[in-house]
Structure 1
Amino acid sequence: MPFLTTPQPRILIAGAGIGGLTTALALHAAGFTDIHIFEAAARLTTLGVGINVQPSAVLILRNLGLLPGLRDIGVETAELNFYSRHGHPILSEPRGSCAGYDVPQFSVHRGEFQMMLLDAVKTRIGRDRVHLDHAFAGYSQTTTEGGSITAKFIRRSNPSEEATIPEMSGAALVCADGINSAARRLLYPNEGLPRFSGRMLWRGCVEQPPYLTGASMVWAGHANQKFIAYPISGRADRRGRALVNWIAELRVRGEGDPDLTPPPTDWTKNVPKERFEGPFEGWMCGGLKMKELILSTESVFEFPMCDRDPVDRWSFGRLTLLGDAAHAMYPIGSNGATQAIIDAETLAEKLAGVIDSWQMAGVIEKALTEYQEARLPPTAAIVMANRGNGPDQVLQLAHERAPDGFANIYDVIPKDELESIGANYKAIAGFEREAVNKKAKETEHLAGRFESSKIKAAILVKTV
């Protein structure tokens, strides 16, 4: 049936995080107009801490016309520096544009990034297409010609009260509802809670004078005690300051402990610094004094470091998983948000290929299976690589071979071995420079799709 006389397929998205919002924008760019996003939270705010977005994902965002927004809110990462717990340098490598990529790497506040994506969704797709306080609760589907999938929702803020939209039907349902995904729980009812690593993360942000290049990431310590810091605010940078996102990591459960149940925590509540700051006494790396960063931070939040075992299937008929719902991984290698963004682009490409024939039996299901086949194997490999410390393995090797420190890292880890760790991880994670730059040149025209709509979008935002 010709496209112009075929009703638009309605795409339902559960979850308005980075994965869900980017999926909506990628689908819109691919020609879809009937898109609805359902979010469990009753209100979306700039809550959160820092994340990194690798060039492979920044390229996708550039092609969606979002690079100017990223430059406004984020910091273009210049370098990544690894140190021992004694402050001895292990490895320094340029990142993003400084490493010869045609697009930058960004360090950014997760909440601000989410709000930027949300604003773009409201402008391009419609404010009325984002439904808050709608937690995904179940689904039913038919797979015959002209079939559909119906998603059911509840009001999390008041479960006894019916959601404004208790259910909606569409051609496909994308579940991007996080590591504790309700959809995944329905598909894998015996899986249980996320898998706890035995390590806890404490996170905070504090403004201070810039350090090193002003756009430097610092990684220090070893697998069971680590400190990470990097600036995340473009606005602070333009004022000559640095909003430093920091992460303190400690093992709180013994290695080999068979109990993988995560401890109960509430990542929205401030926790006392006395819980973790003692072991970082005297740490100083890259000009940063770790304990001073901790003590000068007003609010600190606690996160158990968890992931999930890879599964062999994401797509079930007209339903598929995306982002953390599909492949929750340890926050090692700066890959969580990046992989969700790549998911979004891949899914949009597969569905765009059937936009003219979507009403035929099996067409939507086939597209979702092709998305799964393209993305499940590489993300499963990253999950497992991160369990082996990913690029952070350089820290562990230095600690194991020279626990009391060293004068020259090459006396501890040969140069070739050291550099191969990062190169191997880039290949696994899909952000090798040559591949990213080749794609950047081939797709450089795509961001221009949104240039002509900027004035119209600005008017729309002011009048809605």
Structure 2
Amino acid sequence: MRIVIVGAGIGGLVAALSLHAAGHRGIRVVERVRELRPLGVGINLLPHAVRELTELGLGEQVARIGVAPARLAYFNRHGQPIWSEPRGLEAGYRWPQLSVHRGEFQLLLVEEVERRLGAGTVRQGLRLTAVDHGAGDGGADVARFADASGAITSMEADVIVAADGIHSAIRRQHHPDEHGPVWNGLVLWRGTAIVPAYLDGRTMIMAGDGEQKFVAYPLAAPDAPAGLSRVNFIAERRAPEGAEAQSDWNRPVDPAPIVDLFAHWRFDWLDVPSVIGSAERILEYPMVDRDPIPRWTFVRTVLLGDAAHAMYPNGSNGASQAILDARTLAHRLATEPTIEGALAAYEDERRPATARLLEMTRRLGPEQVMQLAYERAPGGFADVHDVIPQAELERIARDYKVAAGFDPARLNERSSLSVPATSPQGV
């Protein structure tokens, strides 16, 4: 089967590895940038994603470039604890949660694709211009790409996987009247810093509410002699009225104004302005997502990852959902009798699930507990259970895990998405 994957991000690369593991050959990955570099900052891979990476034989490699947080803890903007829960293996999963540098993880995947599928599998510097459906031999779709000079390269494919991100050219081709990414008015500043280890050195923290928030988690184990740790952080605040969003994930900014915004966030367990001020560099971008669309499949072309369902980072689930997309698509193409049936089954499974999850992230997802604490006790509290009952806290955490596909019992018990490495029936 001839397969063209548009986009060498996390979703596209995991799709390539998953399709290859299921026995497919003739896979090409095409990326618009001329040189992939380790850009970005930290991301979290939740246990359902780490399960899929482990079953692809990547678990140990990914674990070596990251750290497994043992706990997630929520606080109000005064540093008072709201809710805390174990994560990964400590929470009863068979797989850990891993915090990794996005760019390092992406390059690891690129190297593995080139090793397993062959050198030259990932072609860079080609921008998709259009897909002509049914224009190739045997009714294949044809993807047309332009290089920096404008020269056009055409590729026929039995399946085209559109993993080309929030500004997907294929999505735009089929939804030309769709507005741009939806901004909720919040601006995020992301960075990494080497700072004194906080709490137990393995806790992911979120402090604040729907108007202003700070997130931090280690990207490496603390250096015991120095007591320092490399952490990833996200500082977030609602923009002034009338501000406009620019959906650029890599715009460097001066840290000083952001330090000022968080000047009073000095907790006895973490000095937030000091963390921000210690950043190697800070990238600014707006919190944007995309509205759900009624269709992901167009003849032999299908959307995946952010191209299909870009969502807010509440719940730390974007990369994990792209990985689930990739594994589900490969599983369906290997187990359904026809390509059309496989693409339909993939969409029937993943589109409703991600639409539900997108709606939950717009309601803050599991971070709802911080907003409730702010609304009910903006000045703080003596005991969080005077503000939010324990049962309500547990329900919010449980409901999000179920919707996102990583409820511990269900994840541990569900069948594998791996398939024997043989050609799928009917192809």
Q: TM-score range by the shorter chain?
A: over 0.9
Is residue 392 of structure 1 aligned with residue 392 of structure 2?
A: no
TM-score, normalised via structure 1 length? 0.86
Cα distance between partner residues in 2 of 1:284 and 1:325: 39
Q: Match for 1:374: what amino acid?
A: E
Is residue 170 of structure 1 aligned with residue 145 of structure 2?
A: no
- Residue 62 to residue 301, structure 1, CA distance change in 2 (3 Å): same
Cα distance between partner residues in 2 of 1:280 and 1:150: 51
Give CA deviations for 1:373-431 in whole Å, capped at 9, x if unaligned. 11000100011100001100000000011111111100111110111111111111111
C-alpha deviation, 1:305, in angstroms = 0.4
- Residue 236 to residue 330, structure 1, CA distance change in 2 (3 Å): farther
Give CA deviations for 1:322-347 in whole Å, capped at 9, x if unaligned. 00000000010011001000000110
State the partner residue of 1:220: 207
- Residue 82 to residue 122, structure 1, CA distance change in 2 (3 Å): same
Tell whether the 8 Å contact from 1:141 to 1:150 is kept in structure 2 after alignment: yes
Which of 7, 12, 25 in structure 2 is aligned with 1:15?
Answer: 7
TM-score, normalised via structure 2 length? 0.94
Cα distance between partner residues in 1 of 2:186 and 2:299: 37
Q: Secondary structure at the match of 2:399?
A: helix
Cα distance between partner residues in 2 of 1:345 and 1:298: 35
Tell whether the 8 Å contact from 2:247 to 2:288 is kept in structure 1 after alignment: no
C-alpha deviation, 1:210, in angstroms = 2.4
Q: Secondary structure at the match of 2:261?
A: helix
Give CA deviations for 1:255-276 in whole Å, capped at 9, x if unaligned. xx8x9xx523643332012333
Which of 162, 173, 179 in structure 2 is aligned with 1:192?
Answer: 179
Give CA deviations for 1:78-119 in whole Å, capped at 9, x if unaligned. 100100100100011000101010100111110011111111
Which of 35, 47, 72 in structure 2 is aligned with 1:43?
Answer: 35
State the partner residue of 2:273: 291
C-alpha deviation, 1:278, in angstroms = 1.8
Q: Match for 2:195: what amino acid?
A: Q
State the partner residue of 1:252: 239
Q: Match for 2:300: what amino acid?
A: R
Cα distance between partner residues in 1 of 2:156 and 2:325: 23
Cα distance between partner residues in 2 of 1:48 and 1:423: 30
Give CA deviations for 1:228-251 in whole Å, capped at 9, x if unaligned. 000123697999742100000000
Is residue 56 of structure 1 aligned with residue 48 of structure 2?
A: yes
State the partner residue of 1:322: 304
Give CA deviations for 1:110-148 in whole Å, capped at 9, x if unaligned. 001111111110110012111001111101122899321
State the partner residue of 1:433: 408
Q: Match for 1:185: what amino acid?
A: R
- Residue 235 to residue 73, structure 1, CA distance change in 2 (3 Å): farther
Which of 158, 178, 194 in structure 2 is aligned with 1:207?
Answer: 194
C-alpha deviation, 1:200, in angstroms = 0.4
- Residue 33 to residue 448, structure 1, CA distance change in 2 (3 Å): closer
Tell whether the 8 Å contact from 1:64 to 1:447 is kept in structure 2 after alignment: no
Q: Secondary structure at the match of 1:284?
A: coil
State the partner residue of 1:412: 387
Unaligned ranges ≥5, structure 1: 1-8, 358-362, 450-464
Unaligned ranges ≥5, structure 2: 422-427
Is residue 230 of structure 1 aligned with residue 217 of structure 2?
A: yes
Q: Secondary structure at the match of 1:277?
A: helix
Percent identity, please: 46
- Residue 124 to residue 266, structure 1, CA distance change in 2 (3 Å): same
State the partner residue of 2:96: 104
Is residue 367 of structure 1 aligned with residue 342 of structure 2?
A: yes
Q: Secondary structure at the match of 1:229?
A: strand
Cα distance between partner residues in 1 of 2:80 and 2:185: 26
Q: Secondary structure at the match of 1:59?
A: helix
Cα distance between partner residues in 2 of 1:287 and 1:173: 50
Tell whether the 8 Å contact from 1:143 to 1:317 is kept in structure 2 after alignment: no
Cα distance between partner residues in 1 of 2:75 and 2:168: 36
Q: Match for 2:188: what amino acid?
A: L
Is residue 90 of structure 1 aligned with residue 82 of structure 2?
A: yes
- Residue 235 to residue 405, structure 1, CA distance change in 2 (3 Å): closer
Q: Secondary structure at the match of 1:12?
A: strand
Which of 114, 120, 126 in structure 1 is aligned with 2:112?
Answer: 120
State the partner residue of 1:179: 166
Give the root-mean-square deviation of aligned CA atoms.
2.3
Cα distance between partner residues in 1 of 2:69 and 2:11: 22
Q: Secondary structure at the match of 1:199?
A: strand
Q: Match for 2:330: what amino acid?
A: A
Q: Match for 2:246: what amino acid?
A: P
Q: Secondary structure at the match of 1:152?
A: strand
Cα distance between partner residues in 1 of 2:345 and 2:398: 28
Cα distance between partner residues in 1 of 2:197 and 2:233: 14
Q: Secondary structure at the match of 1:128?
A: coil
Cα distance between partner residues in 1 of 2:82 and 2:217: 17
Cα distance between partner residues in 2 of 1:283 and 1:385: 28
Cα distance between partner residues in 2 of 1:135 and 1:113: 23
C-alpha deviation, 1:366, in angstroms = 2.3
Q: Secondary structure at the match of 1:282?
A: coil
Tell whether the 8 Å contact from 2:334 to 2:419 is kept in structure 1 after alignment: no
C-alpha deviation, 1:285, in angstroms = 4.5
- Residue 319 to residue 263, structure 1, CA distance change in 2 (3 Å): same
Q: Secondary structure at the match of 2:120?
A: helix
Cα distance between partner residues in 2 of 1:280 and 1:118: 38
C-alpha deviation, 1:372, in angstroms = 0.6
